Amino acid sequence: MKQASVIEVLKYALNTFFNFKNFLFFIKMFVASFFIWVGGAIASALIAAPFLLLGLKIREKLFQEFSGIYNQLASLEKIKKATVVLAKVKEILGEAWIKICDLFSQSPYVVILIALGLLIFLIGITLVFSMLCFGWRKISLDFYDKNTSSIRFLLVKPKYIFKAFLFVIVTFGLAIFASILFTSVIDSSVERIEILYFVLALFVIYLLLKFAYSLCFIVDKKMGLLQAMKRSFLVPRGARKLFLFNIILAPVGNLIAIGYLLALLLLVFVSVLFSFLPYIGSVIALIFGIFSFSILLASLLTPLLIYSLGTAFLYRRLTVKEETKQ
Protein backbone atom coordinates (compact mmCIF):
# COMPACT_ATOMS: atom_id res chain seq x y z
CA MET A 1 0.00 0.00 0.00
CA LYS A 2 1.31 3.49 -0.85
CA GLN A 3 2.66 5.42 2.15
CA ALA A 4 0.47 8.43 2.92
CA SER A 5 1.81 11.97 3.13
CA VAL A 6 1.10 14.13 6.16
CA ILE A 7 -1.32 16.24 4.10
CA GLU A 8 -3.26 13.08 3.21
CA VAL A 9 -3.43 12.17 6.90
CA LEU A 10 -4.83 15.58 7.82
CA LYS A 11 -7.25 15.50 4.87
CA TYR A 12 -8.52 12.08 5.95
CA ALA A 13 -8.99 13.17 9.58
CA LEU A 14 -10.84 16.37 8.60
CA ASN A 15 -13.05 14.63 6.01
CA THR A 16 -13.92 11.90 8.50
CA PHE A 17 -14.81 14.37 11.23
CA PHE A 18 -16.76 16.88 9.14
CA ASN A 19 -18.81 14.28 7.28
CA PHE A 20 -22.33 15.23 8.42
CA LYS A 21 -23.31 11.77 9.67
CA ASN A 22 -19.98 11.30 11.43
CA PHE A 23 -20.08 14.83 12.84
CA LEU A 24 -23.34 14.17 14.70
CA PHE A 25 -21.88 10.94 16.10
CA PHE A 26 -18.72 12.70 17.27
CA ILE A 27 -20.70 15.49 18.96
CA LYS A 28 -22.66 12.83 20.87
CA MET A 29 -19.35 11.17 21.70
CA PHE A 30 -17.98 14.45 23.05
CA VAL A 31 -21.02 14.93 25.30
CA ALA A 32 -20.88 11.31 26.50
CA SER A 33 -17.13 11.65 27.19
CA PHE A 34 -17.75 14.83 29.18
CA PHE A 35 -20.37 13.21 31.41
CA ILE A 36 -18.23 10.09 31.87
CA TRP A 37 -15.32 12.33 32.86
CA VAL A 38 -17.43 14.39 35.27
CA GLY A 39 -19.00 11.25 36.74
CA GLY A 40 -15.57 9.69 37.20
CA ALA A 41 -14.21 12.84 38.83
CA ILE A 42 -17.17 13.00 41.23
CA ALA A 43 -16.82 9.30 42.10
CA SER A 44 -13.07 9.75 42.68
CA ALA A 45 -13.72 12.80 44.86
CA LEU A 46 -16.31 10.93 46.95
CA ILE A 47 -13.92 8.02 47.52
CA ALA A 48 -11.08 10.38 48.44
CA ALA A 49 -13.25 12.73 50.55
CA PRO A 50 -13.05 10.79 53.88
CA PHE A 51 -9.25 10.99 53.77
CA LEU A 52 -9.18 14.66 52.75
CA LEU A 53 -11.76 15.79 55.29
CA LEU A 54 -9.50 14.66 58.09
CA GLY A 55 -7.12 17.44 57.13
CA LEU A 56 -9.68 20.19 57.79
CA LYS A 57 -8.18 20.93 61.19
CA ILE A 58 -5.23 22.65 59.52
CA ARG A 59 -7.08 24.04 56.51
CA GLU A 60 -7.14 27.64 57.80
CA LYS A 61 -3.38 27.75 58.31
CA LEU A 62 -2.83 26.14 54.92
CA PHE A 63 -5.21 28.63 53.30
CA GLN A 64 -3.26 31.51 54.79
CA GLU A 65 0.02 30.00 53.62
CA PHE A 66 -1.21 29.39 50.05
CA SER A 67 -2.72 32.89 49.94
CA GLY A 68 0.68 34.26 50.85
CA ILE A 69 2.31 32.17 48.09
CA TYR A 70 -0.23 33.46 45.55
CA ASN A 71 0.36 37.09 46.54
CA GLN A 72 4.11 36.68 46.27
CA LEU A 73 3.85 34.99 42.86
CA ALA A 74 1.44 37.67 41.63
CA SER A 75 4.02 40.33 42.51
CA LEU A 76 6.41 38.80 39.96
CA GLU A 77 4.33 40.05 37.02
CA LYS A 78 6.43 43.21 36.82
CA ILE A 79 9.67 41.26 36.35
CA LYS A 80 10.44 40.70 32.66
CA LYS A 81 13.58 38.54 32.82
CA ALA A 82 12.69 34.81 32.80
CA THR A 83 15.74 33.65 34.80
CA VAL A 84 15.02 36.14 37.59
CA VAL A 85 11.37 35.05 37.72
CA LEU A 86 12.33 31.35 37.93
CA ALA A 87 14.84 32.08 40.71
CA LYS A 88 12.23 34.04 42.67
CA VAL A 89 9.61 31.31 42.18
CA LYS A 90 12.03 28.67 43.51
CA GLU A 91 12.83 30.86 46.52
CA ILE A 92 9.14 31.50 47.32
CA LEU A 93 8.12 27.85 46.91
CA GLY A 94 11.13 26.70 48.94
CA GLU A 95 10.22 28.91 51.89
CA ALA A 96 6.54 27.92 51.61
CA TRP A 97 7.46 24.23 51.56
CA ILE A 98 9.40 24.59 54.83
CA LYS A 99 6.44 26.32 56.52
CA ILE A 100 3.95 23.73 55.25
CA CYS A 101 6.20 20.89 56.43
CA ASP A 102 6.30 22.53 59.88
CA LEU A 103 2.49 22.60 59.93
CA PHE A 104 2.25 18.96 58.91
CA SER A 105 4.91 17.87 61.40
CA GLN A 106 2.51 18.80 64.21
CA SER A 107 0.07 16.13 62.94
CA PRO A 108 2.03 13.62 60.83
CA TYR A 109 -0.89 11.21 60.37
CA VAL A 110 -2.85 14.02 58.70
CA VAL A 111 -0.15 14.28 56.03
CA ILE A 112 -0.46 10.58 55.22
CA LEU A 113 -4.25 10.73 55.04
CA ILE A 114 -4.30 13.85 52.84
CA ALA A 115 -1.61 12.39 50.56
CA LEU A 116 -3.58 9.14 50.33
CA GLY A 117 -6.77 11.03 49.52
CA LEU A 118 -5.07 13.06 46.78
CA LEU A 119 -3.47 9.92 45.38
CA ILE A 120 -6.83 8.13 45.26
CA PHE A 121 -8.42 11.10 43.48
CA LEU A 122 -5.59 11.41 40.93
CA ILE A 123 -5.61 7.67 40.22
CA GLY A 124 -9.40 7.77 39.81
CA ILE A 125 -9.48 10.60 37.26
CA THR A 126 -6.46 9.12 35.45
CA LEU A 127 -8.28 5.78 35.13
CA VAL A 128 -11.31 7.55 33.65
CA PHE A 129 -9.06 9.50 31.27
CA SER A 130 -7.31 6.25 30.27
CA MET A 131 -10.66 4.59 29.57
CA LEU A 132 -11.68 7.48 27.32
CA CYS A 133 -8.31 7.39 25.51
CA PHE A 134 -8.80 3.67 24.84
CA GLY A 135 -12.39 4.23 23.67
CA TRP A 136 -11.47 7.13 21.39
CA ARG A 137 -8.64 5.16 19.79
CA LYS A 138 -10.93 2.15 19.31
CA ILE A 139 -13.53 4.35 17.61
CA SER A 140 -10.85 6.01 15.46
CA LEU A 141 -9.59 2.64 14.24
CA ASP A 142 -13.17 1.51 13.54
CA PHE A 143 -13.76 4.56 11.35
CA TYR A 144 -10.61 3.84 9.35
CA ASP A 145 -11.62 0.19 8.95
CA LYS A 146 -15.16 1.31 8.06
CA ASN A 147 -16.57 -0.80 10.88
CA THR A 148 -19.74 0.15 12.71
CA SER A 149 -18.82 2.13 15.80
CA SER A 150 -20.79 3.00 18.90
CA ILE A 151 -20.59 5.32 21.89
CA ARG A 152 -20.73 2.25 24.13
CA PHE A 153 -17.10 1.63 23.11
CA LEU A 154 -16.21 4.43 25.53
CA LEU A 155 -17.02 1.99 28.34
CA VAL A 156 -14.02 -0.33 28.39
CA LYS A 157 -13.34 -3.57 30.23
CA PRO A 158 -11.17 -3.15 33.37
CA LYS A 159 -8.21 -5.16 32.02
CA TYR A 160 -7.93 -2.83 29.03
CA ILE A 161 -8.36 0.26 31.22
CA PHE A 162 -5.36 -0.88 33.27
CA LYS A 163 -3.20 -1.28 30.14
CA ALA A 164 -4.25 2.16 28.90
CA PHE A 165 -3.63 3.55 32.41
CA LEU A 166 -0.02 2.33 32.32
CA PHE A 167 0.44 3.92 28.87
CA VAL A 168 -0.96 7.26 30.11
CA ILE A 169 1.31 7.20 33.18
CA VAL A 170 4.40 6.56 31.01
CA THR A 171 3.36 9.30 28.54
CA PHE A 172 2.66 11.86 31.27
CA GLY A 173 5.91 10.96 33.00
CA LEU A 174 7.96 11.51 29.85
CA ALA A 175 6.11 14.75 29.05
CA ILE A 176 6.71 16.13 32.57
CA PHE A 177 10.37 15.10 32.40
CA ALA A 178 10.77 16.91 29.06
CA SER A 179 9.13 20.03 30.54
CA ILE A 180 11.51 19.98 33.51
CA LEU A 181 14.49 19.67 31.16
CA PHE A 182 13.34 22.62 29.04
CA THR A 183 12.80 24.68 32.21
CA SER A 184 16.32 23.76 33.32
CA VAL A 185 17.65 24.99 29.96
CA ILE A 186 16.11 28.42 30.64
CA ASP A 187 17.27 28.49 34.25
CA SER A 188 20.84 27.23 33.80
CA SER A 189 23.65 29.76 33.41
CA VAL A 190 26.23 27.16 32.32
CA GLU A 191 26.33 26.76 28.54
CA ARG A 192 27.36 23.09 28.56
CA ILE A 193 24.56 22.22 31.01
CA GLU A 194 22.05 24.07 28.81
CA ILE A 195 23.11 22.05 25.76
CA LEU A 196 22.96 18.78 27.72
CA TYR A 197 19.45 19.52 29.04
CA PHE A 198 18.29 20.62 25.58
CA VAL A 199 19.58 17.44 23.92
CA LEU A 200 18.00 15.28 26.64
CA ALA A 201 14.68 17.11 26.23
CA LEU A 202 14.72 16.49 22.47
CA PHE A 203 15.52 12.83 23.08
CA VAL A 204 12.56 12.50 25.49
CA ILE A 205 10.26 14.11 22.90
CA TYR A 206 11.60 11.65 20.33
CA LEU A 207 10.70 8.79 22.68
CA LEU A 208 7.20 10.23 23.12
CA LEU A 209 6.71 10.19 19.36
CA LYS A 210 8.16 6.68 18.99
CA PHE A 211 5.87 5.31 21.72
CA ALA A 212 2.78 7.20 20.51
CA TYR A 213 1.43 4.16 18.60
CA SER A 214 1.53 1.97 21.71
CA LEU A 215 -2.12 2.62 22.50
CA CYS A 216 -3.07 1.54 18.96
CA PHE A 217 -1.31 -1.80 19.49
CA ILE A 218 -2.98 -2.18 22.92
CA VAL A 219 -6.41 -1.49 21.40
CA ASP A 220 -5.96 -3.35 18.11
CA LYS A 221 -3.79 -6.31 19.09
CA LYS A 222 -4.67 -6.49 22.82
CA MET A 223 -0.96 -6.37 23.66
CA GLY A 224 0.58 -5.63 27.03
CA LEU A 225 2.26 -2.26 27.57
CA LEU A 226 5.90 -3.36 27.10
CA GLN A 227 5.17 -5.36 23.96
CA ALA A 228 3.08 -2.49 22.55
CA MET A 229 5.84 0.03 23.28
CA LYS A 230 8.40 -2.22 21.60
CA ARG A 231 6.22 -2.61 18.48
CA SER A 232 5.47 1.13 18.45
CA PHE A 233 9.18 1.96 18.64
CA LEU A 234 9.82 -0.20 15.57
CA VAL A 235 7.09 1.37 13.39
CA PRO A 236 8.96 2.65 10.29
CA ARG A 237 8.94 6.46 9.94
CA GLY A 238 6.33 6.59 12.70
CA ALA A 239 7.93 9.35 14.78
CA ARG A 240 8.73 11.58 11.78
CA LYS A 241 5.23 11.29 10.31
CA LEU A 242 3.55 11.96 13.63
CA PHE A 243 5.80 14.95 14.35
CA LEU A 244 4.98 16.55 10.99
CA PHE A 245 1.30 15.79 11.49
CA ASN A 246 1.34 17.56 14.87
CA ILE A 247 3.13 20.56 13.34
CA ILE A 248 0.38 20.92 10.72
CA LEU A 249 -2.43 20.11 13.14
CA ALA A 250 -1.54 22.91 15.57
CA PRO A 251 -2.61 25.88 13.37
CA VAL A 252 -5.47 23.90 11.82
CA GLY A 253 -6.78 23.02 15.30
CA ASN A 254 -6.64 26.69 16.29
CA LEU A 255 -8.64 27.68 13.19
CA ILE A 256 -11.25 25.03 13.95
CA ALA A 257 -11.50 26.24 17.55
CA ILE A 258 -11.97 29.84 16.35
CA GLY A 259 -14.73 28.70 13.98
CA TYR A 260 -16.50 26.92 16.82
CA LEU A 261 -16.23 29.98 19.06
CA LEU A 262 -17.69 32.23 16.35
CA ALA A 263 -20.61 29.82 16.01
CA LEU A 264 -20.96 29.85 19.78
CA LEU A 265 -21.13 33.65 19.88
CA LEU A 266 -23.81 33.60 17.15
CA LEU A 267 -25.88 31.05 19.10
CA VAL A 268 -25.58 33.06 22.31
CA PHE A 269 -26.67 36.22 20.48
CA VAL A 270 -29.69 34.47 18.93
CA SER A 271 -30.66 32.84 22.24
CA VAL A 272 -30.56 36.25 23.95
CA LEU A 273 -32.89 37.66 21.28
CA PHE A 274 -35.38 34.79 21.70
CA SER A 275 -35.22 34.98 25.49
CA PHE A 276 -37.36 38.17 25.38
CA LEU A 277 -40.29 36.26 23.86
CA PRO A 278 -42.91 35.10 26.39
CA TYR A 279 -43.18 31.36 27.13
CA ILE A 280 -41.62 29.95 23.98
CA GLY A 281 -38.59 32.22 24.34
CA SER A 282 -37.34 30.39 27.43
CA VAL A 283 -37.68 27.01 25.71
CA ILE A 284 -35.82 28.23 22.62
CA ALA A 285 -33.15 29.82 24.81
CA LEU A 286 -32.71 26.50 26.64
CA ILE A 287 -32.35 24.61 23.35
CA PHE A 288 -29.80 27.13 22.09
CA GLY A 289 -28.01 26.85 25.44
CA ILE A 290 -27.66 23.08 24.99
CA PHE A 291 -26.30 23.60 21.47
CA SER A 292 -23.93 26.25 22.80
CA PHE A 293 -22.60 23.85 25.40
CA SER A 294 -22.06 21.19 22.73
CA ILE A 295 -20.19 23.64 20.50
CA LEU A 296 -17.99 24.81 23.38
CA LEU A 297 -17.19 21.20 24.22
CA ALA A 298 -16.47 20.41 20.57
CA SER A 299 -14.11 23.40 20.27
CA LEU A 300 -11.98 21.92 23.05
CA LEU A 301 -12.11 18.26 21.98
CA THR A 302 -12.08 18.40 18.16
CA PRO A 303 -8.27 18.85 17.84
CA LEU A 304 -7.79 15.84 20.15
CA LEU A 305 -10.15 13.73 18.04
CA ILE A 306 -8.48 14.79 14.79
CA TYR A 307 -5.16 13.77 16.35
CA SER A 308 -6.67 10.39 17.31
CA LEU A 309 -8.09 9.86 13.80
CA GLY A 310 -4.77 10.85 12.22
CA THR A 311 -2.78 8.57 14.52
CA ALA A 312 -5.10 5.66 13.69
CA PHE A 313 -4.64 6.40 9.96
CA LEU A 314 -0.84 6.45 10.29
CA TYR A 315 -0.87 3.32 12.42
CA ARG A 316 -2.80 1.37 9.79
CA ARG A 317 -0.74 2.67 6.85
CA LEU A 318 2.68 2.31 8.49
CA THR A 319 2.12 -1.17 9.92
CA VAL A 320 0.34 -2.74 6.92
CA LYS A 321 3.61 -3.71 5.17
CA GLU A 322 5.00 -5.24 8.34
CA GLU A 323 1.82 -7.32 8.78
CA THR A 324 1.91 -8.39 5.11
CA LYS A 325 5.47 -9.69 5.52
CA GLN A 326 4.50 -11.65 8.61
247 contacts: CB under 8 Å, gap ≥ 6: none
- Please answer whether residues 54 and 113 qualify as being in contact, where contact means their C-beta atoms are separated by less than 8 angstroms: yes
Q: Is residue 16 scored above 80 in pLDDT?
A: yes
Neighbours of 106 (CB within 10 A): 11
pLDDT at 324: 47
pLDDT tier for residue 78 given thresholds of 50, 70 and 90 = low
pLDDT tier for residue 297 given thresholds of 50, 70 and 90 = confident
Q: Is residue 68 scored above 50 in pLDDT?
A: yes
Q: What is the mean pLDDT of residues 211-219?
A: 92
pLDDT tier for residue 156 given thresholds of 50, 70 and 90 = confident
Question: Which residue did the predictor score with more confidence, 263 or 42?
Answer: 42
* Helices and strands (DSSP H and E) totals, the chain: 11, 0
- Please answer whether residues 151 and 29 qualify as being in contact, where contact means their C-beta atoms are separated by less than 8 angstroms: yes
- Please answer whether residues 317 and 141 qualify as being in contact, where contact means their C-beta atoms are separated by less than 8 angstroms: no
Q: Is residue 125 scored above 70 in pLDDT?
A: yes
Q: What is the mean pLDDT of residues 271-298?
A: 69
pLDDT tier for residue 197 given thresholds of 50, 70 and 90 = confident
- Please answer whether residues 45 and 125 qualify as being in contact, where contact means their C-beta atoms are separated by less than 8 angstroms: no
Q: Report pTM.
A: 0.75
In angstroms, how far is the first alpha carbon of the chain from the final one? 15
The CA R_g of the chain, rounded to the nearest whole Å, is 24
Q: Is residue 277 scored above 70 in pLDDT?
A: no
Neighbours of 301 (CB within 10 A): 19
16 contacts: CB under 8 Å, gap ≥ 6: 22, 143, 309
DSSP 8-state code for residue 275? T
pLDDT at 276: 66
Beta strands in the chain (DSSP E): none
What percent of the chain lies above the pLDDT cut of 90? Answer: 26
Which residue in 194, 242, 197, 196 sits closest to 216, CA to CA?
A: 242
Q: Is residue 257 scored above 50 in pLDDT?
A: yes
Which residue in 304, 306, 300 sits closest to 261, CA to CA?
A: 300
Q: Which of 102-111, 219-228, 233-242 has the lowest mean pLDDT?
A: 102-111
Q: Which of 9-13, 135-139, 172-176, 257-261 has the lowest mean pLDDT?
A: 257-261
